[in-house]
Each structure stands twice: as C-alpha cells, then as structure tokens.
Structure 1
Amino acid sequence: MADCNVVVLISGSGSNLQALIDSTASGDNPAHIRAVISNRADAYGLQRAKAAGIDTRVLDHKQFDGREAFDAALVEAIDAFEPHLVVLAGFMRILTPGFVRHYAGRLLNIHPSLLPKYKGLHTHQRALEAGDSEHGCSVHFVTEELDGGPLAVQAPIPVQSDDTPETLAQRVHVQEHRIYPLAVRWFAEGRLRLGDNGAELDGQTLPPTGQQLRN
C-alpha cells in the first residue's frame, strides 16, 4: 500500500501529535507524517517532531497582515510536502474558507466533546455544568462551519460524580490518543473518506455521530 503523506498542524504541546507519531512508527501503517507545522515557535510539539526525525516549519501568524495572508502562506508551506491528508492537532487558529476549501475532504480535526455538543472552548466545564452523563471526543472532517464537519469517529466516556474539568479532560485525552490515530489510519488505508452524504467508512455512509468507539 502506498504511503499517505500527512502534514500535522499544531500550536502547543502536541500530545495528539505524539500519539500519531507513535502509531505510524510500527511500519505497517501507510500514514507517513512528512512535516509538522506550527504557528508558534515555542510549541513543544516541534520538539516531539524533531525527536522523531520529522521536518518542522514555523509560520508566526503575527508576522502576517490578516488571516487570509497567513493562510495563503500556510497553504504554500503545507503543499510543499505534497500531502494527501492535513491533520489539525491543537492548531489554535480559525481557518479561512479558502483554506478549508483547498483541503476539502482531506482535512481532519479532533474536538474534545461529543459533537455537535459544545463546539468551541471550555468543553469539559460545559459538560459538567449541563449535568451530562456522557462526554468524550470526536474526529471530524473540517468544513467552513467551526467544529461542524461530518463526524468520522467518537469515543464516549461516562461522566463520574466527582469529576472536575481537569479529571474529565485527562480521561478524554486518553480517548483522543486512541481515536485520532485510528481515523488517520483509516484515511491512509482508503477506508475513510468524505462522501456526498457525509463521512464514509468502507463505502458506507456513517451515522451523524460517526463510528462510536466505546471502551
């Protein structure tokens, strides 16, 4: 099976990036991380990439005159690596419609909630305040709607009576590190794609919640 070139975008510590690096190190995974690009020079994820021998690039968004100019430069940097897939792993930038359209069907994101619940920030706090019995994380194709693209996979976990936003975040992170590498592998193997009616796995349109993976 041919390699699937992947470019990962980060802004921070890169724990999901590390899970992706670990999952592609086995040799039987067609996903191949060609580069890691960050909008912050101090992002620890860049050190993770360098330790794994992966090319890195930094594009400081503050050096550009507006989102469109930054995204245009970002597209140029990404496309130099000829990616089949672009993966957002804690990339804290709202992307322009032009950027999203350029990578339509080959742009994945992970979000720490059971979408469509709790788009945006502070998802763990919001789940607790709402008294939810379940929380979790979602991998989705990126569209122009923030945190609104078709869902590929979700990992629900029970909310415990003594949970805090911090304890809930820790348990959600464990699930993120499980389902993101899985979704990337599915894409690299040609099993996961964006179809006319949403995300498809093995030729079948997934339900609105995506593939549900429970422990």
Structure 2
Amino acid sequence: MEVNSFFFGLDDLMKEGEFRWADGTLLSETGYFQWIPGNPDNNLGSEHCVERNVYHDDWNDRSCSVKQRFVCEKSKVPPLHLMAMTSTPFGSTGNTPSFSCIVSSDNTHDYITYTERAVRPSLTTNGYTLNVPGIEAPQTGGFTQNLPNGATSVGVYECSSTYTITGSSTSADVTILSQYSTYNKYELRIV
C-alpha cells in the first residue's frame, strides 16, 4: 500500500482527459489544479484516478487499481433534535393521557418518527406488550400519541426519529405515571 499518497475523489473515468470530482463537477469548472509537471500523462493508458503526495502536495494521475489511502468528503447532516413531552407526569390534566414527539428540523418530511413502549410496569408477564396503546395524531414536526385512560397507559415510552437520507437517528423517553401510583426509589419501580 502506498503510504505517501492518497486518492481524493478526482478521476477521468467517464472520458479521458476530462477530470471530474466525485460529485460530478468538472475540474475545469473549479479553476484549481496542482499537477506535477508533465502530468496528467495517462502512462500506459491506464492512469485514470488522481492522487496527491503528502510531501509536495502535487497531483499525479495513477491507476485506480493501486491500493492506497483515500480521503472522502462527508456531506453535512442537519442536526436532529427530538423531544418527548407531556403536560403533566400523568400524561394530561384531563381524562385522556397523551405525550408528544417533536422533531426540530426544517426537513420533517425526510424523517420517520415513531413511538414504542420501552417499559410497562407489570407484576406478571400475562398481557405484557411493548405496543403503544391509543391513537397517533399527526402534527407539524411530529405527532401526539393519545393514550387510553387508566392503568393501560402507564409506562415509559420512547420517541425515535431516523433521518431517511443518512440513517442517523435519535430517541427521547417520556414516562406516564398513574395518578394513583408512586415511584419507590428503593426498589426502583412504580408501585
């Protein structure tokens, strides 16, 4: 492996002598180049990738099959902020508990946001489920999850959001307490 040089996303694979960046931009449109004198020379008709030497910063065309390091440009990913919230620890001040998942991004159509039950207090495994009860009501930048009244809505829920273009994701938790329950800090559970 070549250690003093690296490929950096420039080649003339589409058309000999017409060098393009990895994003398709023609080198001739950028107005910048730094070839070693006498290059590009397409030695033996097989040099189509461009390398840069770390010691003298000059460019050389080279065979793309040479094993050596490379540099990639990573596209900027917009920040993904997700918030899960309730109006009270019981999910509401009225009879219908709920929580909201809010994504703070300009491109909300590029995100998949969903909920799942992370923890549900239960003394037995009968009827234990991580499905979220109730109905999801869409809203700009997220949604509100309306839950049924009573003990079935008690638990810890997770709002998760994934950016569909890059696959980056985040999550936030929210806890819905029963108005008749308390948290036992010694047993670390809701009783």
Of structures 1 and 2, the larger Rg is shown by: 2
Q: Determine which structure has the larger helix proportion and give its number.
A: 1
Q: Taking structure 1 as the reference length, what is the TM-score of the superposition?
A: 0.18
